[in-house]
Amino acid sequence: MIRLGISGYGNLGRGVEAAVMHNPDFQLKVILTRRDPASIKPLTKGVKVDKTENAKAYKDEIDVLILCGGSATDLPVQTPAYAADFNVVDSFDTHANIPAHFDAVDKAAKESGKLALISCGWDPGMFSIARVYGDSVLPGGATYTFWGKGVSQGHSDAIRRVKGVVDARQYTVPVQAALDAVRSGSNPDLSTRQKHTRECYVVVEEGADKARIEKEIKEMPNYFADYDTTVNFISQEELDSKHKGIPHGGFVIRSGKTGANDEYDNVVEYSLKLDSNPAFTSSVLVAYARAVAKMSKEGRTGCVTVLDVPPAYLSAKSGAELRKSML
Amino acid sequence: MIRLGISGYGNLGRGVEAAVMHNPDFQLKVILTRRDPASIKPLTKGVKVDKTENAKAYKDEIDVLILCGGSATDLPVQTPAYAADFNVVDSFDTHANIPAHFDAVDKAAKESGKLALISCGWDPGMFSIARVYGDSVLPGGATYTFWGKGVSQGHSDAIRRVKGVVDARQYTVPVQAALDAVRSGSNPDLSTRQKHTRECYVVVEEGADKARIEKEIKEMPNYFADYDTTVNFISQEELDSKHKGIPHGGFVIRSGKTGANDEYDNVVEYSLKLDSNPAFTSSVLVAYARAVAKMSKEGRTGCVTVLDVPPAYLSAKSGAELRKSML
């Protein structure tokens, strides 16, 4: 049994708890929270709930701690700190800051003799793996990543900050013509606008100036200005009934040529279609917690990513069983 | 530079030579053949061609030897034998015999202190990886593998053995309705007949009894009896002009549920579309030869498969570069 801890009990932490139920080789021992532990009602029988500051007390009780905080402010501090006492897995997803985060976590985990796996989930995560495999088996080609159709929390939040907006949900949608062009193997150059559109569902205050709100959204730099954006004004009831889920997914497509004269086209595609973004991310985190438990037992220390983990380490099945049934 | 040898110069061996041209960190040193070396005209300048029996002479000149023989009779003998002197990679693809082949190769490679990677390519190979990742990140779901549209050499050969047949090409074709059902996440039970159809293009002798030939093909046990098979009689000219390629590909689809109450559906799909089956297989072999060179340098010995290799080991890029650009 792998003894697991969860730090942070939001969407992701609850998702990890649910994912443990699908993985009978795990036992959830403790949930650490910044809230009042008495306010947390875990789904798992017998699991302890404690304050984050008491984490050290569980040092010898858990094999891996999954960190379910946010990438903006939580994980840059928490992951190196927890790596002093625990093997940890996090889902740090600010791509540009991954090298710095890796270095900080690596230093902490090497000093403590623990193992830390960062930036786990689906992007970064399973999509990163697809990009590296594609780049390696088809050198000299091109890799394309498309996201969606799915909810972008960051873009939804950005809309909510527009004056007069009560609530909003934003979907990132890959452009079918771009997907088709990439799949044809023609290695097209695609602008930001050509790859994705943005669909917004917006609830506004009574009497709000919809034309002004629509214009502000569509012209918002970084978030919407570079995209073809559609804004749909709907009621709070419609938002709650039709847009309450957090589905996501996407595509990593690698095209490249083989043959002595580049005479053969090849297209490799990896795609995800997820009803719940955090539930799937959590499921990936648990599989990598298994890998971290195995690698730590073998003496591996410091920081690693999904790119450093052999596929077999994610599985509860033995090497012999995998070779017999899945190779 | 990774110094490479090729044993066997058929479709696969020539494919490996072409793949080396796309991977500038490799140097092809020698091609070993059972034919008269003088009859071989390699594309690579300066590469030696020698008889298979002289292999030992190159023991210290190459880092990895890629074995391009067949799975039926060549590799069961060659892979353990070569593993006594070389780090090797093979594409052994008789799924049922993989465990026995693994054990024989593991014993030989452990004794010699060399590293052997077996069953590399796309199935077994990249598809096996997709199956293990899918099974691990979505436990409790179902995995489906579809092949095609592509040429099955074994089935084409089987048709050629029918009396009156001059030449033949057989395509394995996934059934669209089955693909759609699997992608919907409904975890359907699918019979052999429901998953694939078989399309045959057949050239017959003048005056041959086409009705008898068609019946014999369609009723052939193991090969065609369990499938909906179509037989098209065409001229040798048409076969040569329209069906001379060896394209292939396929799909590995994993569907599974997440959430505490299995309330979310998820579908993960990995697919390949290949103009040339052996050219892509060769490209994968070279990427794994890179991994074998790295792992051998680290002291790893014995037999491994693609399931034991971290994605980063396939890449010519450094860990830091991959984290920065692909994670």
Minimal CA separation from B211 to chain A, in Å: 37
Q: What is the mean pLDDT of residues A216-241?
A: 97
The partner residues of B65 in beta bridges, in order of sequence, read B5, B88
Q: What is the pLDDT of residues B55-68, one digit of tens each?
A: 999 999 999 999 99
The 8-class DSSP code of residue A76 comes to H
Residue of B nearest to A324 (CA): B99
Beta pairing, strands A150-151 & A142-147: unpaired
Contact B140 A22 (CB under 8 A): yes
- A140 pLDDT more than 90: no
Residue of B nearest to A323 (CA): B99
Q: What is the mean pLDDT of residues A70-99?
A: 96
- Chain-centroid distance, C-alpha A223: 19
Start-to-end CA span in chain B (Å): 25
Contact B273 A267 (CB under 8 A): yes
Report the C-alpha gap between B285 and B67 in whole angstroms: 9
Percent of chain B whose pLDDT exceeds 90: 98
Of A137, A308, A319, the CB nearest to B284: A137
- Chain-centroid distance, C-alpha B124: 6
Beta pairing, strands B248-258 & B142-147: antiparallel
Of A22, A119, A124, the CB nearest to B139: A22
At B119, give phi and psi (nearest 5°). 60, 45
Residue of A nearest to B270 (CA): A270
Contact A326 B128 (CB under 8 A): yes
B contact test, residue of A98, A137, A292, A294 with most B CBs within 10 A: A137
Residues with Cβ within 8 Å of B47's Cβ and at least 6 positions away in sequence, in order, are: B17, B28, B29, B30, B31
Minimal CA separation from B58 to chain A, in Å: 25
- B117 pLDDT more than 90: yes
Could you tell me if A66 and A88 are in contact, meaning their C-beta atoms sit under 8 angstroms apart? yes
Could you tell me if A254 and A142 are in contact, meaning their C-beta atoms sit under 8 angstroms apart? yes
Of A19, A282, A308, the CB nearest to B310: A308
Residue of B nearest to A312 (CA): B307
- A149 pLDDT more than 90: yes
Minimal CA separation from A217 to chain B, in Å: 30
The partner residues of B31 in beta bridges, in order of sequence, read B6, B49
Q: What is the pLDDT of residue A68?
A: 97
Q: What is the dihedral of CA B309, A281, A78, A89, to 10 degrees?
A: -30
Residue of A nearest to B290 (CA): A136
The two tokens of residue B27 are: 């140097």
Q: What is the pLDDT of residues A259-268, one digit of tens each?
A: 999 999 999 9
Q: What is the mean pLDDT of residues A31-47?
A: 95
Could you tell me if B147 and B95 are in contact, meaning their C-beta atoms sit under 8 angstroms apart? no
Contact A283 B138 (CB under 8 A): yes
Report the C-alpha gap between A299 and A319 in whole angstroms: 19
Q: Number of residue pairs across A and B with CB atoms under 8 Å?
A: 222
Report the C-alpha gap between A150 and A160 in whole angstroms: 18
Amino acid in position A96: A
| Residues of chain B contacting A315 with CB distance shorter than 8 Å | 132, 135-136
Provide DSSP, A78-107.
Answer: HHHHHTTTS-EEE----GGGHHHHHHHHHH
Amino acid in position A39: S
Minimal CA separation from A3 to chain B, in Å: 18
Q: What is the pLDDT of residues B295-327, one digit of tens each?
A: 999 999 999 999 999 999 999 999 999 999 999
The partner residues of B49 in beta bridges, in order of sequence, read B31
Nearest residue to A12 via CA among A74, A82, A66: A66
Radius of gyration of chain B (CA): 22
Beta pairing, strands B248-258 & B264-274: antiparallel
Find out whether the peptide bond into B139 is cis, omega within 30 degrees of 0. no
Q: What is the pLDDT of residue A238?
A: 98
Q: What is the pLDDT of residue B140?
A: 84
Q: What is the pLDDT of residue B157?
A: 93
Q: What is the pLDDT of residue B26?
A: 98
A270 membership: H or E segment, kind and range? strand A264-274
Say how many CA atoms lie within 13 Å of A47 toward its Cβ: 29
Q: What is the pLDDT of residue A176?
A: 97
A18 membership: H or E segment, kind and range? helix A11-21
Confidence of residue B218 (pLDDT cuts 50, 70, 90): very high
Q: What is the 3-state secondary structure (H, E, C) of chain B?
A: CEEEEEECCCHHHHHHHHHHCCCCCEEEEEEEECCCHHHCCCCCCCCEEEEHHHHHHHCCCCCEEEECCCCCCHHHHHHHHHCCCCCEEECCCCHHHHHHHHHHHHHHHHHHCCEEECCCCECCEHHHHHHHHHHHHCCCCEEEEEECCEECHHHHHHHHCCCCEEEEEEEEEECHHHHHHHHCCCCCCCCHHHHEEEEEEEEECCCCCHHHHHHHHHCCCCCCCCCEEEEEECCHHHHHHHCCCCCEEEEEEEEEEECCCCCEEEEEEEEEEECCHHHHHHHHHHHHHHHHHHHHHCCCCEEECHHHCCHHHHCCCCHHHHHHHCC
